[in-house]
Amino acid sequence: MRRQPAPGRSRVNDPDATRGRVLDAAAELFQLRGYNATSTHELVSKAGVTSGALHHHFRSKKDIGLAVLRERVAPAVKKTWIDPVQSSRTATEGILTAFDQVASSLARRKVVLGCPLNNLAIELSLVDPDFRQVVREIYDGWRESLAQRLSSEFEQIDAEAAATFVVASYSGAIALAKSEQDPSPLKACAQQLERTMRQWRRRSRRS
Amino acid sequence: MRRQPAPGRSRVNDPDATRGRVLDAAAELFQLRGYNATSTHELVSKAGVTSGALHHHFRSKKDIGLAVLRERVAPAVKKTWIDPVQSSRTATEGILTAFDQVASSLARRKVVLGCPLNNLAIELSLVDPDFRQVVREIYDGWRESLAQRLSSEFEQIDAEAAATFVVASYSGAIALAKSEQDPSPLKACAQQLERTMRQWRRRSRRS
C-alpha cells in the first residue's frame, strides 16, 4: 500500500507541486477516514513525498487541515453549489441541479464519502476555534450566495433563513446518505425542497 | 485532570455501575471530541474505573462505541425526538417542540456539542460496517416513528420522504449550529419547516 516517493516526484525545485500533492492526499484521507484517524505518516506515504518535504510546507497536521479547508473544500463547495446556483436560470433550478449532480455522482461512485465540509465541521469545529473560523467562513459564503439569489427571486421570504434551510437540508441529507451508503435521502430531500420552493414562489406572487 | 478511581467506586461487586460509568464517560468524550480523538486511557481516567474493570466489560474501544450508540445515543434520540412527536397533539407540534427544546438547551449550555447520532454517524459509518448498521437502525427508528405520525395526519404527502426531510433538516441545522456555536440555524430551520408543514396540511385538506 505504501508508496515511496518516486525519483524526481518530490523535487525541491517544484515546491508547489509537492504542496499540492500533500493537500490532495490529505483531502482524500480526511474525507475517507476523518482528520483524527489520519496520521502524518500516512499523509507522507499517500502523497508520495518525503517527511522533510511535507514539513517544509506545513508546520503541523493542523496547518494541513486548515489548508485543506481553504484550498480544497472551499473550491469544492464553490464548484458543487455556488457556481450552479449562480449560473442557473432560477435559484430553484440551481439548487435542484446541485442536489441532483451530487446524488448522481454518489450513485456512480457506489460509495458515499459525505460532504467534505460537513465531515470536517462535525469533527473539528467544536474543539478548535481556528478550524471553526474557517468552517464558518465557508458555510457563510455558501449561505450568502444562496440568500442573494433567493432574495432576488422570492420577494416575500426571509432569504437568509431560507438559505440556511437549504444548506441544512442538504447537509443532513448527505449525512443520512453516508449512514445508509445510498443516495436516496438526497433525492427525498430534493423532492421536498422543490415543493417548498414552489410555495415560496406562490407566496411571492400573491404579494 | 486525570482522576484515579476513588476507593469503592469501581467495586467488582457492582459490575453494572462500572459498565454504566464507562458508557457515560465515553458518551461524553465522544460527543465532545469524537471517537477517534478519545483514547481508552482517557476513558478509564474519566470514568474513574481501573483499566482491568473496563476490559472486563468491553473487549475493545469499538465495543464501547457500539454500546454508546445502542445504550446512550438511541435513548437520547427517543427522549428528544420520538417521545415528543408521539405524545404531542399533532406531528407539527411535536416536531417544533423537539427543535425548540434542543435550541433552548443549547442556548442555556452556551456550547453546541452537536447531535450525538450525527456526530458518530459522520465519523464512523463509512469506515466500519458494524457502526454503520447500528447508526442506520437508530436513524430508521427515528424516521419510521415520524413517518407513521405524519402519515396519519397528512394524507396527501409521501410520509417517508417527509420524515427523511425533517430528520435531514434537523441534522443539518444542528451541524450548522455546532459550526457557529450558536443555536440560530435551528430556529431558522424550525421556522421554515413550520411553513412547509402548513403546506402539507393545506394539500391534505384540499384532497
Residues A126, B114: C-beta atoms closer than 8 Å: yes
Q: Which CATH number fits domain A60-206: 3.40.50.1370, 3.40.50.880, 1.10.357.10, 1.10.10.10?
A: 1.10.357.10
Measured between alpha carbons, how far is A7 from B188 in angstroms, rounded to an integer?
54
Judge whether residue A150 has pLDDT over 90: yes
Measured between alpha carbons, how far is B125 from A84 in angstroms, rounded to an integer?
29
A33 contact residues in B (CB cutoff 8 A): 126-127
Q: How big is the A-B interface in CB pairs under 8 Å?
A: 167
Domain B1-58: CATH superfamily is Homeodomain-like (1.10.10.60)
pLDDT in the model for residue A206: 72
Q: In this structure, which long-range contacts are made by residues B12-18, counting pairs with CB atoms below 8 Å and at least 24 apart in sequence?
A: B12/B53, B15/B56, B15/B57, B18/B47, B18/B49, B18/B53, B18/B54, B18/B56, B18/B57
Residues A196, B196: C-beta atoms closer than 8 Å: yes
Residues written for chain A? 207
- Packed helices A40-47 and A15-33: angle between N→C axes, nearest 10 degrees: 120
Judge whether residue A6 has pLDDT over 70: no
CA distance B173 to chain A (A): 5
CA distance B166 to chain A (A): 8
| Spatial contact of A17 and A38, defined as CB atoms under 8 Å apart | no
Q: Where are the domains positioned within chain B? A: 1-58, 60-206
Measured between alpha carbons, how far is B191 from B181 in angstroms, rounded to an integer?
19
Residues A123, B125: C-beta atoms closer than 8 Å: no
What does the pLDDT look like over B39-74, one tens digit per residue?
999 999 999 999 999 999 999 999 999 999 999 999
Measured between alpha carbons, how far is B207 from B195 in angstroms, rounded to an integer?
19
Measured between alpha carbons, how far is B5 from B8 in angstroms, rounded to an integer?
8
What does the pLDDT look like over A44-95, one tens digit per residue?
999 999 999 999 999 999 999 999 999 999 999 999 999 999 999 999 999 9
Residues A189, B164: C-beta atoms closer than 8 Å: yes
Query: pTM (2 decimals)?
Result: 0.91
Query: Average of pLDDT values for B99-104?
Result: 94
The whole-chain average pLDDT of chain A stands at: 91
B181 contact residues in A (CB cutoff 8 A): 125-126, 132
Judge whether residue A5 has pLDDT over 80: no
Residues whose CB falls within 8 Å of the CB of residue A198, separated by 6 or more in sequence, listed in order: A92
Apex B199 CA angle, B194 and B201, nearest 5: 95
> Which of B139, B161, B185 lies at the smallest CB-CB distance from A179?
B139
Q: Which three cell numbers stand for residue A62?
A: 493542523
pLDDT in the model for residue B173: 97
Query: Average of pLDDT values for A133-139?
Result: 97
pLDDT in the model for residue B10: 45
Query: Average of pLDDT values for B189-200?
Result: 93
What does the pLDDT look like over A154-192, one tens digit per residue?
988 999 999 999 999 999 999 999 999 999 999 999 999
pLDDT in the model for residue A1: 45
Residues whose CB falls within 8 Å of the CB of residue A29, separated by 6 or more in sequence, listed in order: A38, A42, A43, A46
Judge whether residue B117 has pLDDT over 90: yes
